[in-house]
Amino acid sequence: QVQLKESGPGLVQPSQTLSLTCTVSGLSLTSNSVSWIRQPPGKGLEWMGVIWSNGGTDYNSAIKSRLSISRDTSKSQVFLKMNSLQTEDTAMYFCARNGDTKGIWFAYWGQGTLVTVSS
């Protein structure tokens, strides 16, 4: 059974760096790709970036300069780091396993972790 679970600090101060972890089970990161997606309260969804099964990454151009995605395959974990946080980065952050056919779509999602940016 595929499962993903996000974890993180909950509250981050403006201008600081956000670090999130996605722990997966029931799948191997060396044969599956994982994306991060976020959703501000009451708003729509924004894809942030992906780490491919080969370890390569792609990012949303709107936040590329602030974002880094990495992984530890031995621990089945994917990491997100985003710097220079502002209040508009307040959102629910999800990790999701990509689908099996071409393109970046999301077959399985974690429950999400809420990040609030506030002093």
Nearer to other proteins, 35 or 77 (CB): 35
| Cβ contact 34:77 at 8 Å | no
| 3-class secondary-structure state, position 66 | helix
In whole angstroms, give the CA distance from residue 116 to residue 119. Answer: 10
The least distance separating other proteins from the CB of residue 56, rounded to whole angstroms, comes to 14
Nearer to other proteins, 16 or 23 (CB): 23
Task: Give, as one character, the DSSP assignment of residue 100.
Answer: S
The least distance separating other proteins from the CB of residue 23, rounded to whole angstroms, comes to 15
The least distance separating other proteins from the CB of residue 14, rounded to whole angstroms, comes to 26
| Cβ contact 97:2 at 8 Å | yes
The least distance separating other proteins from the CB of residue 51, rounded to whole angstroms, comes to 14
In whole angstroms, give the CA distance from residue 114 to residue 109. Answer: 15
Chain residues binding other proteins by CB under 8 A are 35, 44-47, 58, 60-61, 94, 99, 101-112
Nearer to other proteins, 110 or 117 (CB): 110
